[in-house]
Amino acid sequence: MEGATEELASGPSTSSGPGPTGGAVPGRRPALRIAVAGTGFIGAVHAHAARRAGAHLIGVAASSAPSAREAAQALGAERGFDDAESLVTAPDVDVVHICTPNDLHVPLALAALDAGKHVICEKPLAVDAAAAAELVRAADTAGVVATVPFVYRFYPLVREARARVGSGAIGSLRLIHGCYLQDWLATEDDDNWRVDPERGGPSRAFADIGSHWCDLVEFVTGDRLAAVCAESVTAIPERVSAGGGHAFETHGRAGSDGVRRAVTTEDIVVVLFRTRDGVTGSVVVSQVSPGRKNRLQFEIAGADATLSFDQERPETLWVGGREASEVVARDPAHLADEAARYSLLPPGHPQGYQDCFDAFVADTYRAIRAGGGAAAVDGLPSFADGARAADITAAVLRSTRTGRWEDVS
Ligand SMILES: NC(=O)c1ccc[n+]([C@@H]2O[C@H](COP(=O)([O-])OP(=O)(O)OC[C@H]3O[C@@H](n4cnc5c(N)ncnc54)[C@H](O)[C@@H]3O)[C@@H](O)[C@H]2O)c1
């Protein structure tokens, strides 16, 4: 990799960070030089996380050169790239963050890997399982760190749940269930590139948010979904084109051309599953549930206790017991080490979604510095995890078509 290996190998210190003007601080290892392709909702979250982790934001790319220049100014990047293709191969960039619509993930990630860059690529890693597997192989060949932001793993109380399941504290698992519900696509006037299968892929609700739920539950339990039986619903068969609304914009969307378009991607998916260890479960995924903004919730019942987590209330974990139940608060003094590590603020000072992103990006950069790929940092979601989500999505789609149980490959 041009620049990065040399710079990273040269610094004696374990800390890094930009100087007041973004340059290297004397005596410290120079900052990683990063660039962000796609500057919508999540591109801005990435840019903030990267800066928080001490990276130097070289540039951004958006859907046009003028909008990239505007976004560069807004996000404090050095420059706007003319297009994403030139960003992912730029010689002065060490780490590429891919935050574009889904259809661009594979070509941009392949080009970045080919140029020897470390890559953070948004989910879904690819809109089909074969392409996701190709990206895993390309990342292995390149020998770089390649990660996917399954960021809900970075809530301290998710790590606490994982530690309790792993230690056997809740007993053998019996039932896993939950939901991921949103409402930002709940009316026919709500539209987004995700609805268009050419941009978003053949699965919308499941690939977009169901994939997060499955990753989280597999991460917490250490078990894997083995087979699924799914039903999907397109509750809103036609939508009025929004002409480019960003994610989660439900008001004041500019540029609606008033054209009604038939919808082929799903709004709702209900999935029954069984795991490799023989545990039964279910998940309900919806982007059309009024009042539910981002309700990712799971419940895991073991023989001795039940754990329940809701990402809209991420500062607590409900631990159910037959005699008594308790609500465990995020207090590092009383959490497992792996959970306490992600507890950054004193208890009672809420941490949230951006903090998860900050931790994920910081861990990715830590893995880059450590060498040895994403596996260098425990719990860091890699391209293999992105490909795993694509396999589950493929099985869910197959099942919605066949009406039968389908194995997850
Ligand atoms: N990990 C998470 O928690 C999470 C959350 C939200 C979104 N995402 C993922 O992030 C990606 C982006 O989603 P979003 O919600 O930010 O969407 P968005 O619509 O808000 O932003 C997409 C951005 O991509 C830009 N873009 C479009 N075409 C481009 C091109 N050819 N080159 C460069 N930029 C281009 C647009 O200008 C826009 O800024 C999606 O893949 C989505 O699944 C992940």
94-144 pLDDT, tens digit each: 999 999 999 999 999 999 999 999 999 999 999 999 999 999 999 999 999
Q: Place 254 in a pLDDT band, splitting at 50, 70 and 90.
A: very low
The C-alpha torsion from 396 through 401 and 404 to 408, rounded to 10°, is -30
Residue 6's pLDDT is what? 31
With cut-offs at 50, 70 and 90, classify the pLDDT of residue 251. Answer: low
Structure tokens at 260: 């009604």
Which residue's CA lies nearest to atom 29 of ligand 1? 63
Beta-bridge mates of residue 207: none
Residue nearest ligand 1's atom 25 by CA = 38
pLDDT in tens, 277-326: 999 999 999 999 999 999 999 999 999 999 999 999 999 999 999 999 99
Q: Give the distance (Å) from ligand 1 centre to CA of residue 104.
A: 10
Q: Using CA positions, which residue lies closest to atom 30 of ligand 1?
A: 63
- Return the percentage of the chain with pLDDT > 70, whole number: 89
User: From atom 19 of ligand 1, which residue's Cα is the shortest distance away?
Assistant: 246
Mean of per-residue pLDDT scores for the chain:
92
The mean-pLDDT minimum among 28-32, 353-357, 360-364 falls in: 28-32
113 phi-psi bin (left φ>0, alpha ψ -120 to 50, beta other): alpha
Query: Cβ(84) to ligand 1 under 6 A?
Result: yes
Structure-token match 């309700």, residue found? 295
Distances 22 to 54, 57, 60, 321, 334 between C-alpha atoms, Å: 9, 8, 16, 52, 38
232 pocket-lining for ligand 1 (C-beta < 6 Å) = no
Flag whether pLDDT at 214 surpasses 70. yes
Instruction: Outline where DSSP puts E strands in 42-110.
Output: 56-61, 79-80, 95-98
CA of 39 to the centre of ligand 1 (A): 7
Asked if residue 151 has its Cβ within 6 Å of ligand 1, the reply is: yes
Q: What is the pLDDT of residue 259?
A: 86
**Distance from C-alpha of 317 to C-alpha of 165, rounded to nearest angstrom:** 13
> Minimum mean pLDDT among 124-128, 248-252, 264-268, 345-349: which range?
248-252
Alpha helical stretches, state H, 100-237: 105-114, 129-142, 156-167, 197-200, 205, 211-221
Record the pTM.
0.93
Q: Take atom 27 of ligand 1 and give the residue whose Cα is closest.
A: 63
Q: Is there an atom of ligand 1 within 6 Å of 245 CB?
A: no
Read off the pLDDT band of 243 (50, 70, 90): low
279-292 pLDDT, tens digit per residue, is 999 999 999 999 99
What pLDDT is stored for residue 372 in this prediction?
A: 85
